[in-house]
Amino acid sequence: MGRPRAFDRDTALDKALHLFWARGYEQTSISDLTEELGIAPPSLYAAFGDKRTLFEEAVARYEADPRSVTTAGLAKTNQSDVLRTMFERAVQEYASKDHPHGCLVNSAPELAANRAHNRNLTAARLREVTEDAESSDTAENLAAFAHVMLVGLSSYARDGADEHQLRAVAKLAFHAIEVSMETG
């Protein structure tokens, strides 16, 4: 019913996501968005609501990606695999040339709630797959350490570090985790 939309909403959302990813929420203006998406402001507002709503939908799209670092880790069935998978995925993704460097969620100051959610998911998963019951009270600490590392790796990638440099750091971090799990 009515005049059909002249652009593809999904690809437009994807372009918006990449803009927010590269520049951040505040630094991305409506002018930037309408130019990049090739549409006029009224079309953008009709399709996505206001700027904040568009940002939230873009973040939701970002987090729904199965390539997501946290999501990939949660699929594993023991603590070591969960965390190694997260680090390796971060190393591969954060410096990728296919999209802006770093992690959208770990870069945006306004996404603290998302970070807390991911950290909680990780902690819950680490508790879930724990075999030795005595190390379960450190699941929160392990998750906190892992996500602190991810934030740091994201920043490092944004500052220009390549995959090789990220991996060198991740290797040290994973070392810490294995030692921690052994000593309980």
Partner DNA sequence: ACCATTTTGTAGTGATTGATACAGAACTGT
Partner DNA sequence: ACAGTTCTGTATCAATCACTACAAAATGGT
Q: Which residues are at the interface with DNA (CB under 7 A)?
A: 1-7, 28-32, 39-43, 45-47, 50-52
| Contact call for residues 161 and 114 (beta carbons, < 8 A) | no
Lookup result for tokens 């690809």: 11
| Contact call for residues 110 and 25 (beta carbons, < 8 A) | yes
Residue 145 touches which member of a second copy, DNA, none, C-beta under 5-8 Å by kind: a second copy
Q: Give 29 or 120: the residue with its C-beta nearer to DNA.
A: 29
Residues 99-158 within binding reach of a second copy (CB under 8 A) = 106-107, 109, 112, 115-116, 141-142, 144-145, 147-153, 155-156, 158
- What is the smallest separation between the CB atom of 43 and a second copy, expressed in angstroms? 27
Question: Which of 39, 83, 95, 161 lies at the binding interface for a second copy (CB under 8 A)?
Answer: 161
- What is the smallest separation between the CB atom of 54 and DNA, expressed in angstroms? 8
Question: Does the protein bind a second copy through residue 179 (CB under 8 A)?
Answer: yes
Closest C-alpha to 17, from 3, 1, 2, 33: 33
Alpha carbons within 13 A on the beta-carbon side of 53: 7
Site string for a second copy, 7-46 (x = CB under 8 A): -----------------x-xx-------------------
Residue 6 touches which member of DNA, a second copy, none, C-beta under 5-8 Å by kind: DNA
Q: Give 32 or 140: the residue with its C-beta nearer to DNA.
A: 32
C-alpha distance from residue 34 to each of 13, 48, 53, 70, 151 (Å): 11, 12, 15, 31, 30
Q: Contacts with a second copy: how many residues (CB under 8 A)?
A: 36
Rounded CA-CA distance 104/163 in Å is 17
Lookup result for tokens 């991305």: 28
Lookup result for tokens 């810490």: 176
- What is the smallest separation between the CB atom of 176 and a second copy, expressed in angstroms? 3
- Burial group, residue 55, by CB count within 10 angstroms (0-12, 13-18, 19+): buried
Lookup result for tokens 């437009």: 12
Binding site for a second copy (CB under 8 A): 24, 26-27, 106-107, 109, 112, 115-116, 141-142, 144-145, 147-153, 155-156, 158-161, 165, 168-169, 172-173, 175-177, 179-180
